[in-house]
Amino acid sequence: MCGIVGIVSTEPVNQQIYDSLLLLQHRGQDSTGIATADGAQFHIHKGRGQVREAFRTRDMRALLGTMGLGHVRYATKGDAANEREAQPFYVNAPYGIILIHNGNLTNTRELADDLFHKDRRHMNSASDTEMLLNVLATELQGEVSGSLDLDPDQVFNAVRNVHERVEGSYAAIAMIAGHGLLAFRDPYGIRPLVLGRRTAGLVGDEWIVASESLVLENGDYEIVREIAPGEAVFVTMQGEMYSRQCAANPRLVPCSFEYVYLARPDSIMNGISVYEARLRMGDRLADTVARYAPLGDIDVVMPIPDSSRPAAMQVARKLGVEYREGFYKNRYVGRTFIMPGQAQRKKSVRQKLNAMGSEFKGKNILIVDDSIVRGTTSKEIVEMARAAGANKVTFTSAAPPVRFPHVYGINMPTRAELIAHGRKIPEIAAELGADHMIYQEVEDLQAAITEGTSIEQLDLSCFTGEYVTGTVTEEYLDWVERTQLS
């Protein structure tokens, strides 16, 4: 998971990109980078950790120019601390291109081979972003004609060829030196990308593309639309905007996990308010709870702060049970220092959550979480509730059981580590130590997200094991798990 933003402005963009990345920080905190274009010259700064740690005044001052892009990264594979994988990436031929990307390519083995053997392009990292950039560069090279100009058609032809070579999820933003900013989204629109415009008086239009709409709203940009699946948008350095559908058979299949957990609730994504989708998840989860749980057994409904609050609030309201916040979330996290001669101590969830005794003592508690992946945190939460004096503990998840890997850009453990992989629901309850365990139904999740829209399909692969891109086979999943572990 990553967050991306690109801006073509009429004034310096460094602070605006920085502010946008702060608003996208929840999408990744492992590393971050900004690149700007000052005429034909690029300026890049990358750093580890969060935005506010990575950029100092002198870094910001060097990021000159009125066009730029920025990235926050949650390491999807490999070592989070590997600076080699930090985005943006740059190639100098043709033209000079800088690219950032949210998503995950699923045919990297073929791509690596082709880029090495056919295109003679050197990959200096294991990053699929570097591959995507080089495929784009190769295809743009093929469009180079005698004329010096680069017209939008050439750019769009290159993106069309990229769609043909690359599989997986990708929402990408690139800068072409001296020419403009390019944004494109995979033919299924799995990862989000939204386009905005702001009118800068007489000077002309300013354009923004970003992972989430709240970035636009915060910058006083008007939301123009989502970039369509397969579509490419090219904005020249002078602020002229061109767009074209570049995919053969585009079809919108957005990632359901954005609505479950990833996105900020105040974002609108593919026309759906994330906050309201979460409220609807709560409504539908309440129905399932009512079907399966002895309601007399529930005294209070409690969220795990912060992400499950909207769903929990609706569960409480619909069940007519009181909503209480019994868990306090500690905002400040630190490190465990390995002293010479000491073994690593495990940080427990107690460093992050604390239970307010009076809300638990003698009560039957229904806990609402947004989703359950490994289950280790959930297990500690149940223990914490019991230690605080809870009588019965019903654990619920606003998302269905996660039983398969997510290969489209979200870091997930191997199948064997998923608590729901190969377990029935009562077995999961036993594993967590809960009295009852209730999950959202897959159909309910789909309906809660798409209600009132024309969206027909969602990527629900981590719940169902059905992957929309053909290359994701059992053999592929085995390979991913092997290479992730090595």
List, as residue ranges, the binding site for Mg(2+). 307, 369-370
Instruction: List all residues 6 or more positions away from 340 whose beta carbon is below 8 Å from its beta carbon.
Output: none
Nearer residue to a copy of itself within complex by CB, 16 or 378: 16
| Options 136, 214, 293, 390; binder of a copy of itself; rule CB under 8 A | 214
Give the residue from 390, 400, 399, 402 showing the smallest Cα distance to 366.
390
What residues does 32 pair with on adjacent strands?
47, 72
383 binds a copy of itself (CB under 8 A): no
Residue type, 236: T
What residues from 346 to 375 belong to the interface with a copy of itself (CB under 8 A)? 350-351, 354-358
**Stretch near a copy of itself under the rule CB under 8 A, chosen from 86-94, 376-384, 392-400, 449-457:** 86-94
| CB contact at 8 A, 398 and 288 | no
Binding mask 239-268 for a copy of itself (x = CB under 8 A): -------------------------xxx--
Exposed, middle or buried: residue 318 (CB in 10 Å: 0-12, 13-18, 19+)? middle
Read off the tokens for 477: 């999943």
What residues from 276 to 295 belong to the interface with a copy of itself (CB under 8 A)? 276
**Stretch near a copy of itself under the rule CB under 8 A, chosen from 327-335, 407-415, 444-452, 455-463:** 327-335
CA–CA dist 329, 336 (Å, integer): 19
* DSSP E strand boundaries for 246-283: 268-269, 272-273
| Options 1, 2, 34, 51; binder of a copy of itself; rule CB under 8 A | 51
165 binds a copy of itself (CB under 8 A): no
Three-state DSSP state, 279: helix
Annotated binding site: 307, 369-370
What residues from 55 to 74 belong to the interface with a copy of itself (CB under 8 A)? 55, 57, 60-61
| CB contact at 8 A, 476 and 404 | no
45 binds a copy of itself (CB under 8 A): no
Output the smallest distance, CB 376 to a copy of itself, in A: 19
| Options 196, 229, 310, 400; binder of a copy of itself; rule CB under 8 A | 310
| Options 10, 47, 77, 144; binder of a copy of itself; rule CB under 8 A | 144
Nearer residue to a copy of itself within complex by CB, 17 or 419: 17
Give the angle 91-69-185 at the CA atoms, nearest 5°: 80
Nearer residue to a copy of itself within complex by CB, 92 or 464: 92
Read off the tokens for 347: 């940080």
% helix / strand / coil in the chain, to the nearest 5? 35, 25, 40
344 binds a copy of itself (CB under 8 A): no
What residues from 401 to 430 belong to the interface with a copy of itself (CB under 8 A)? none
The residue behind tokens 């990527």 is 459
Residue 2 is a catalytic residue: yes
CA–CA dist 452, 41 (Å, integer): 46
Nearer residue to a copy of itself within complex by CB, 218 or 245: 218
Read off the tokens for 46: 């990358």
**Stretch near a copy of itself under the rule CB under 8 A, chosen from 137-145, 235-243, 283-291, 378-386:** 137-145
Nearer residue to a copy of itself within complex by CB, 122 or 251: 122
| CB contact at 8 A, 86 and 126 | no
Nearer residue to a copy of itself within complex by CB, 219 or 401: 219
181 binds a copy of itself (CB under 8 A): no
What residues from 431 to 470 belong to the interface with a copy of itself (CB under 8 A)? none
| CB contact at 8 A, 172 and 126 | no
| Options 242, 292, 323, 476; binder of a copy of itself; rule CB under 8 A | 323
Read off the tokens for 381: 């939460």
| CB contact at 8 A, 20 and 219 | yes
Output the smallest distance, CB 345 to a copy of itself, in A: 8
Q: Which residues are catalytic?
A: 2
